[in-house]
Homo-oligomer: A and B are copies of this chain.
Amino acid sequence: MIENIREPKQQRAIEKKEKIIEAGFNLICKNGYYNTNTAEIAKEAGVSTGIVYQYFKDKYDVLIEGLEKYGDDIFFPMLKNTNIKFDKKDFDKLLRQMINHYINNHKVSNIAHEEIMSMVHSDRRIAEYYYKRELEMTNSLKEILLNNNFSENELFEKVHIMLGLIDNLCHEIIYHKHSDMNYDIMTNLVIDNIKNLFKNDLV
């Protein structure tokens, strides 16, 4: 068997590959991996079905590349631009920034998260990707906090809880699941709670 997956060199070809990734990942996130077929992906990307197999080993590969390209936006939107110093009395503000960043960067439809998460369990490569990134983010946050004189004590656990709280809040806001939920109140409660987590650091 010849390895005939081409890495496109020309600009037009590169764009074509991008198109396939984008179309494929969007469709998969919207409708699920098994409810998306390659014909649809090709059509949505404006290419022929055959070409998909010149840029990708198989359908699964489209998903993986999509995940690598867009995954951060779905799972770890607060990962970016966190290399910051902040005044402890602005911790509040930082949290609000992270939350807004998370919400604003949710590019892909609301199925994406669980759709991919469900694959984390059945699929080694996706699991690897996911846990690697999750750890990256946890560490990245730990780093920031350490750099700002937070105590290392129980920090891993605290960061994990903090991320869970933010994740939960943002999902609630993004997906509008409960009509009688007041998001301002919830946001304030979450921020207060995170501050409680780090009450020893914030004096």
> Interface readout for A91-121 with B: 1 if CB under 8 Å, 0 if not?
0000000000000000000110011011111
Q: Beta-carbon contacts of A177-200 to B below 8 Å, as 1s and 0s?
A: 110111001100110110011000
Q: How far is the CA of A34 from the CA of B189 in the complex (A)?
A: 40
Docked CA distance A182–B159 (Å): 13
Q: Give, as a whole number of angstroms, the nearest-CB distance from A66 to chain B.
A: 16
A185 touches B157 (CB 8 A): yes
Q: How far is the CB of A24 from chain B (nearest CB, A)?
A: 14
Instruction: Give 17 new A-B contacts, CB below 8 A, not counting A1-B40, A160-B186.
Output: A2-B43, A32-B118, A32-B119, A114-B114, A114-B118, A114-B121, A115-B121, A115-B122, A131-B177, A154-B189, A157-B189, A160-B168, A161-B169, A161-B186, A161-B189, A164-B164, A193-B193
Docked complex Cα distance between A2 and B180 (Å): 38
Could you tell me if B157 and A168 are in contact, using CB atoms closer than 8 angstroms? Answer: no
Complex Cα spacing A168 to B157, Å: 12
Cβ of A11 under 8 Å from chain B: no
Question: Smallest distance from the beta carbon of A10 to chain B beta carbons, Å?
Answer: 14
A181 vs B155: C-alpha distance when bound (angstroms): 10
The 9 closest A-B pairs by CB, nearest first: A118-B118, A164-B168, A34-B34, A111-B121, A114-B117, A196-B196, A114-B118, A157-B186, A115-B118
Interface range for A:
35 or more
Whole-angstrom distance between the alpha carbons of A34 and B119 in the complex? 11
